[in-house]
Structure 1
Amino acid sequence: MAQPQLYENKVWIDGCFDFTHHGHSGAILQAKRTIPRDKRDGSVLICGVHNDADIEHNKGGRPVMQEQERYEHTQRNRWCDVVVKDAPYVTDPAVLDSYGCKYVVHGDDITTDANGEDCYQQMKDAGRFQVVKRTEGVSTTDIIGRILRNDTVASGNSQGIDHEKLVLYSTGKHGYEPWCWVFGSGFADVVVEGVGSAQDENWVVVREPDGFDLFNVGHINELKALKDAGKRVCCSLSVDSGSVDSGSSVYMTLEERCLSVLSCDVVDAVMLGTPPSSTLPSSADICLTNVSLKKEIVQRINDNRDHYIERNMKKAGGL
């Protein structure tokens, strides 16, 4: 039998991608950057996403986000070229062969199946495994714990953000070239320069009461509609004071929300602060009020508290 043709510029990464948070985005970005720069033309990063049943069988706990939500969110990651649904939980060399992928990429932690076996052992034995650094400070377990404890940040706007991270997460589809803009408080306050003009008349500033907390496909679908209408989408990460006063919980820090939103391929910019209203025409200022999926996500966890408490105790030894 002829050996499959494998390519250095076709790379595979797989996972549960529950919440599809910025830690996952960081792994996907690093996977894209493993492709040699001189082989970027025609390069493909394939993201294999496990289904709900396989996750529950192998991890002993249900994912919070349903498989279709995880498929759609991962597909909207700017560095992901292809999503493979129902990807095997134990990475199969034959599957990678069928896509021409020479390597699988994973973080520097060990993932095991239901039998306690390393999910990547076959790939390691074949010399087709590449390691990237796991993003510190965020995990699905951590986010679930925050919701279980109702551990919130007051407004999410007081934390600083590492400029190097902003530049990295603002890169284009190859993971190197500038793409997204990052603004402070208004379009004149440039933190990271992206493509095009900061003064483009097609900019629209999109607000969301909780500053795009627990960024999800509900947000993405509304942003995509604006993008499809020819707008340049700038997401304001400022948390509405009325939202906090009314008891709404914001679980993610400014940096976490910023990096999650920056990773999305329908987003052209983020704005860290609140611009003076006089600097924006009313037609350029839109507020998303449909935050039902975030509420549903929180409700899923609280409705199954015993299940998720047990899950977190197994994973982290506590909530």
Structure 2
Amino acid sequence: MTINLDPNKVWIDGCFDFTHHGHAGAILQARRTVSKEHGKLFCGVHTDADIQHNKGPPVMNSLERYEHTRSNRWCSQVVEAAPYVTDPNWMDTYHCQYVVHGDDITLDANGEDCYKLVKEMGRFKVVKRTYGVSTTEIIHRILTKNSLPPTHTDYYPNIKELSFYSVAEDAVSKHCYVFQSDLSNVLVDGGYTFNIRDCVYVDGDFDLFHMGDIDQLEKLKIVLHPDKRLIVGITTNDYLSTIMTMKERVLSVLSCRYVDAVIIDPNAASLAQCACEKYHIGSAVLKEGGKFSEYLTKDLIVKRVESQRDVYIARNQSKGMSV
């Protein structure tokens, strides 16, 4: 049977554990390899069992990883239970000629390149891997309780990074606004006319940005205020207890399809004067009825890692990270 491959459809696959901004950056770059107007990106996500067999236990379960990937602004469709070793037959099913992956090598349980076959077939495209962030690095910080201070050169995102992650679903057009401290300090212009009266605001630290947070953002945007733009204020009460840097948290939140603007280190006094309804992440009204928000928290995620501490230490050591 002849398979008609569509140049406007592309495949990416992975574990997407934590689904951090490194994953989001790869998804965004993959979306940019196809047409702005007609392109579609299919994100294949592996099962817990496949990940366990090939690299050890994931921190987030399959349902959490499927839904988090689905919430990414540039993902057109999630393909659940995609094989760990990329299978061209699965790509064919969705009419994707190419699979996209970062410029690092992913090995299966036998030490073989997961993309060996598609590379040999000329159906593999490489994008730049995001430096400095990985699931391994995040687990390392949880295990060592080491966090980067705000004085670190990579603690805050730069304008280029903010602009890159602020784009719309087509991966090119402007969408999200980014502000520093208050609405008078614009770092990135968005793709719409900004009016605070057309917005709703929520703040929190969004550390280990997860489906519990995303559930609440979706409820705000889709259920409670479907006619409003959603502004997210990202705070840091104590960097010593915050695992992710401001850069990692901001870029992760920007990649969420429910977000229209971000304020870095919001000034509470200034925001109090704004004429919009305000919420705090984790409040009862946002968590109520949430599929994930009623149980999934940062503390639970940390406990999952700590409960298998020896396993994760051994996995990280195999990748050159000692605790």
**TM-score, length of structure 2 as denominator length:** 0.90
1:202 aligns with 2:194: no
Q: Is the 8 A contact 1:187 1:199 kept in 2?
A: no
2 CA distance for matches of 1:118 and 1:310?
A: 22
User: Which stretch has the larger CA shift, 184-193 or 168-177?
Assistant: 184-193
Q: Which of 296, 301, 306 matches 1:297?
A: 301
| Aligned equivalent of 1:141 | 136
1:96 aligns with 2:88: no
1 CA distance for matches of 2:151 and 2:261?
A: 18
| Aligned equivalent of 2:125 | 130
Query: What amino acid maps onto 1:227 in structure 2?
Result: K
User: Which stretch has the larger CA shift, 96-105 or 291-300?
Assistant: 291-300
Q: Unaligned stretches of 5+ in structure 2?
A: 284-292
CA deviation vs aligned residue, 1:108-159 (integer Å, no higher than 9, x gap): 1111111111111110111000001110000100000000001124569994
CA deviation after TM superposition for structure 1 residue 186, in Å:
1.5
Cα RMSD for the two superposed structures: 1.9
Q: Is the 8 A contact 1:56 1:62 kept in 2?
A: yes
1:257 aligns with 2:249: yes
1:76 aligns with 2:68: no
Aligned partner of residue 197 in structure 2, secondary structure = coil
- Relative to 1, partners in 2 of residues 1:179 and 1:282: Cα closer, same or farther, differing over 3 Å? closer
Q: Which of 41, 44, 60 matches 2:40?
A: 44
Q: Is the 8 A contact 1:170 1:180 kept in 2?
A: yes
| Aligned equivalent of 1:164 | 160
CA deviation after TM superposition for structure 1 residue 180, in Å:
0.5
1:112 aligns with 2:116: no
Q: Which of 292, 314, 318 matches 1:310?
A: 314
Q: Which of 158, 172, 194 matches 1:176?
A: 172
| Aligned equivalent of 1:286 | 279
CA deviation after TM superposition for structure 1 residue 276, in Å:
4.8
Percent of paired sites with the same residue = 49
CA deviation after TM superposition for structure 1 residue 64, in Å:
0.4
| Aligned equivalent of 2:233 | 236
Q: Is the 8 A contact 2:7 2:96 kept in 1?
A: yes
CA deviation after TM superposition for structure 1 residue 249, in Å:
1.5
- Relative to 1, partners in 2 of residues 1:156 and 1:219: Cα closer, same or farther, differing over 3 Å? farther
| Aligned equivalent of 1:270 | 262
1 CA distance for matches of 2:265 and 2:320?
A: 34
Q: Is the 8 A contact 1:156 1:252 kept in 2?
A: no
- Relative to 1, partners in 2 of residues 1:249 and 1:271: Cα closer, same or farther, differing over 3 Å? same
2 CA distance for matches of 1:186 and 1:198?
A: 14
2 CA distance for matches of 1:102 and 1:258?
A: 33
CA deviation after TM superposition for structure 1 residue 107, in Å:
0.6
Q: Is the 8 A contact 1:141 1:316 kept in 2?
A: no
CA deviation after TM superposition for structure 1 residue 273, in Å:
2.4
Q: Which of 208, 213, 220 matches 2:214?
A: 220
Q: Is the 8 A contact 1:156 1:253 kept in 2?
A: no
Query: What amino acid maps onto 2:252 in structure 1?
Result: S
Q: Is the 8 A contact 1:144 1:308 kept in 2?
A: yes
1 CA distance for matches of 2:113 and 2:158?
A: 34
Query: What amino acid maps onto 1:108 in structure 2?
Result: D
Q: Is the 8 A contact 1:184 1:191 kept in 2?
A: yes
2 CA distance for matches of 1:216 and 1:156?
A: 26
2 CA distance for matches of 1:154 and 1:287?
A: 24
CA deviation after TM superposition for structure 1 residue 304, in Å:
1.2
Q: Is the 8 A contact 1:166 1:259 kept in 2?
A: yes
- Relative to 1, partners in 2 of residues 1:276 and 1:249: Cα closer, same or farther, differing over 3 Å? closer
| Aligned equivalent of 2:25 | 26
Q: Unaligned stretches of 5+ in structure 1?
A: none
Aligned partner of residue 316 in structure 1, secondary structure = coil
Matched positions, count: 307
